Amino acid sequence: MGVSRSEQRVVVVGAGMAGVQTAVQLREQGWPGGIRLIGGEPHQPYDRPPLSKAVLLGKADDAALDVDFGALGIDVELGRQATALRPGERLVETDAGSVAYDQLVIATGAEAVALPGAEGVPGVHLLRTLDDAARLRAVLAARSEVVVVGAGWIGAEFTTAAREAGCDVTVVEAGVAPLPGALPAEITEHMRPWYEESGARLRTGTAVRSVERGGVRLQDGTRLRADAVVVGVGSRPATGWLAGSGIGLGEDGGVLADEMLRASAPNVYAVGDCASFPSARYGERLLVHHWDNALQGPRVVAANITAGTLPDGEAEAALYDPVPYFWSEQFGRFVQYAGHHTAQDELVRRGDPDQAAWSVCWLRDGTLNALLAVGRPRDLAQGRRLIAGRAPVDAERVADAAVPLKKAVPTS
């Protein structure tokens, strides 16, 4: 490679959880060279989950990550946007000049998808950044009349906070039940009452035709008045800046990383919300937009950068093959999911979904593939281990909520 490792510089683009963790992990795993963390937002690097929870309600002022960058020898440059990548010259172009790298980590995360025609309309909000949360905090404080577009994870958490603040909330969802795309309607139909009990109105099977000043127009012609419209219709990888770079991107916009989280150019890695990876465990490529992925992936990237630059190149490659995990706090409930299911998997209910606590399991070939737990964190913890270990399970015992999930493994 020519230059020694301590003379080499890793540049990390994107200062969210994945970028910050990559920088921290590099130091923890003994990277001796320079580390430069470049973030587009002007704020101290922060965590996103609190934005739709405590920060929105004014219970926390910010969600800054508690990292002493100076002590770790990490150079942080905030408010600096990467605009292009030239892998052949190992250069990142930014709005403040070019930056040379020896190793590059793309950690630019995702951006919230806007509703076509709604951009720039006064009173229309997204919820992705600290600035978005600050604007919405004022909406909540004014106890406004709000229309939420989308009953996904963000829509549900925002609605929870807005109802707690005393806002009048109507949620409009094009799918037939909450969380379409993420979970089957036969399960999420049981979440519909959560909205109603909170005092929000949920209208499913209704798309928004247009967003206007002071409200939205639905496909059926109905007009809903609103002081504020909150759009929660999903997120997509923030990879527009890689156009023309030759870095392979999927149809979903995610960087096509390999099992070591390497992108398609030499010495370039990608991690977190911006990258998909081939899951050996599930036999398909996954694009995961959840916090745990932004925490775990960086360990693998740091290990591969650290090992891959050793003089003899003999250190073992670290492979990324996680059991995906996420949680959501909505309507006073703790909702957790581990694994990855498809419509082909056998769905096994565990407990009554009209009660406060229940789970749903997905089985494939006699093993647990995925699990959704509502108010049953023990199911989640035990199920996650069963999924990771690919342990065979007995479907009848899985269905018995009185039997601890770990005891669903056949004994003989």
Ligand X SMILES: Cc1cc2nc3c(=O)[nH]c(=O)nc-3n(C[C@H](O)[C@H](O)[C@H](O)COP(=O)(O)OP(=O)(O)OC[C@H]3O[C@@H](n4cnc5c(N)ncnc54)[C@H](O)[C@@H]3O)c2cc1C
Region of 33-41, 70-78, 141-149, 185-193 interacting with ligand X (CB under 6 A): 33-41
To 5 degrees, how large is the angle CA 123–CA 125–CA 128? 160
Beta strands in 27-79 (DSSP E): 34-39, 74-78
Provide Rg for the chain, Cα atoms.
22
Rule CB under 6 A: say whether 13 interacts with ligand X: yes
- Using CB under 6 A, count the residues that bind ligand X: 36
Q: Work out the angle between the directed axes of helices 153-164 and 130-141 (0-180°, nearest 10).
A: 40
Whole-angstrom Cα distance, residue 315 to residue 308?
7
Residue 202 near residue 171, CB atoms below 8 Å: yes
Q: How far is the CB of 1 from ligand X (least distance, A)?
A: 26
Closest CA to 257 of 296, 287, 281: 287
Q: How far is the CB of 403 from ligand X (least distance, A)?
A: 28
Q: Decide whether 334 or 399 has the Cβ nearer to ligand X.
A: 334
Which residues in the 145-164 window bind ligand X by CB under 6 A? 154
Rule CB under 6 A: say whether 296 interacts with ligand X: no
Instruction: Write the DSSP string, 304-363.
Output: HHHHHTSTT--SPPP------EEEEEETTEEEEEEE---TTSEEEEES-TTSS-EEEEEE
Which residues in the 176-235 window bind ligand X by CB under 6 A? none
Q: How far is the CB of 123 from ligand X (least distance, A)?
A: 19
Rule CB under 6 A: say whether 52 interacts with ligand X: yes
Selected binder of ligand X within 8, 10, 11, 14 (CB under 6 A): 14
- Tokens 């398909």 correspond to 284
Q: Decide whether 158 or 393 has the Cβ nearer to ligand X.
A: 158
Lay out the site mask for ligand X across 240-279 (x = CB under 6 A, - = otherwise).
-x------------------------------xx------
Closest CA to 202 of 213, 188, 214, 212: 188
Rule CB under 6 A: say whether 19 interacts with ligand X: yes
Lay out the site mask for ligand X across 101-140 (x = CB under 6 A, - = otherwise).
------xxxx----------------xx------------
Residue ranges of alpha helices (H) inside 166-290 are: 185-188, 192-198
Residue 53 amino acid letter? K
Whole-angstrom Cα distance, residue 166 to residue 171?
15
Q: Decide whether 17 or 305 has the Cβ nearer to ligand X.
A: 17
Rule CB under 6 A: say whether 328 interacts with ligand X: yes
Whole-angstrom Cα distance, residue 397 to residue 409?
8
Q: How far is the CB of 372 from ligand X (least distance, A)?
A: 13
Lay out the site mask for ligand X across 297-316 (x = CB under 6 A, - = otherwise).
--------------------
Lay out the site mask for ligand X across 373-392 (x = CB under 6 A, - = otherwise).
--------------------
By CB under 6 A, name the binding residues for ligand X.
13-19, 38-41, 48-49, 51-52, 81-82, 107-110, 127-128, 154, 238, 241, 272-273, 289-292, 294, 326-328
